Amino acid sequence: MHDVIAHGAQIPALGFGTFRMAEPDVVRMVPQVLKLGFRHIDTAQAYGNEAAVGEGIARSGIARGEVFLTTKVWVDRYRQGDLQRSVDESLGRLRTDYVDLLLLHWPNDAVPLAEQIGALNAVRQAGRARHIGISNFNTAQMAEAAGLSAAPLVTNQVEYHPYLDQSFVLEAARAAGMALTAYYPMADGKVLQDPVLRDIAARHSRSVAQVVLRWLVQQEGVVALSKTVREDRATENLAIADLVLDAAEMAAIHALARPDGRLVSPPGLAPTWDAAG
């Protein structure tokens, strides 16, 4: 699987996400997916499983330098000083002295954005994060954050699947030299019974999950996070490098987007989302 290049960051286009994954499953699955060939693991302070991710990487036998590791700072730790302390705590749980990518998990207007971005840069300058970025920011917030940052922001991690048009955010990310990292690619399982996707999958003798992941990573600048607690499905998800969707198939999947397609918009955290591009 190829890497997505963004401001010098080489991000493996297909990652393994651990959102809502219990610690025993994380400890079991992380070594397995790394042995299968995954090289990108995504976690967050809010997931409560950083320690399990750290244990899983240690158990895998794969050298730390071969794994692109992402974590995210939760919104209650954005103050200068506190953010840095929270990262040190995360690194302790992850059993490493750096992460490859550190993100602000959601916007938080209670702390000045300049303070948040300044603290994020301080972590990078201290060598505790190789790259920095944001998550769940709208395009106005993306632009403001990028303008405040001494170091380039390399990604905005957002919900993205066939039912949610993220073209506006993707265009803004590309213009800024950033990647878009897609979470919830299976739309909480809703895509799996979609007749359009099932037809495309049947034509290629592939699964719907493979088609959706390929649709994402076949788009310029898009990284996709897959998630499963089954080794056979992880093997399947990784086996998409030789799958190529034609222009008509890509367009048919894009056409599935609908106005009510967004699934993740928690009150008190979600910003005012951009309209579809």
> Catalytic residues, which ones?
47
Query: What does the DSSP 8-state code read for residue 259?
Result: T
> Three-state SS string across 30-95, please?
HHHHHHHCCCEEECCHHHCCHHHHHHHHHHHCCCHHHCEEEEEECHHHCCCCHHHHHHHHHHHHHC
As beta bridge partners, residue 129 has 99
Residue in 175, 247, 189, 186 with CA at minimum distance from that of residue 218: 247
Tokens of 250: 């890509």
Cα dist from 171 to 28, 106, 117, 135, 176, whole Å: 37, 20, 22, 16, 9
Q: Could you say which DSSP state residue 152 is in?
A: P
Cα 168 to Cα 5, 103, 134, 196, 197, distances in angstroms = 20, 21, 16, 24, 23
Q: At what angle do helices 23-36 and 231-238 cross, to 10 degrees?
A: 40
Number of H helices, E strands in the chain: 10, 10
* DSSP summary character for residue 219: S
Q: Work out whether the CA dihedral 34, 37, 40, 43 comes out positive or negative.
A: negative
Taking the C-alpha atoms of residue 148 and residue 228, their distance in angstroms, rounded to an integer, is 37
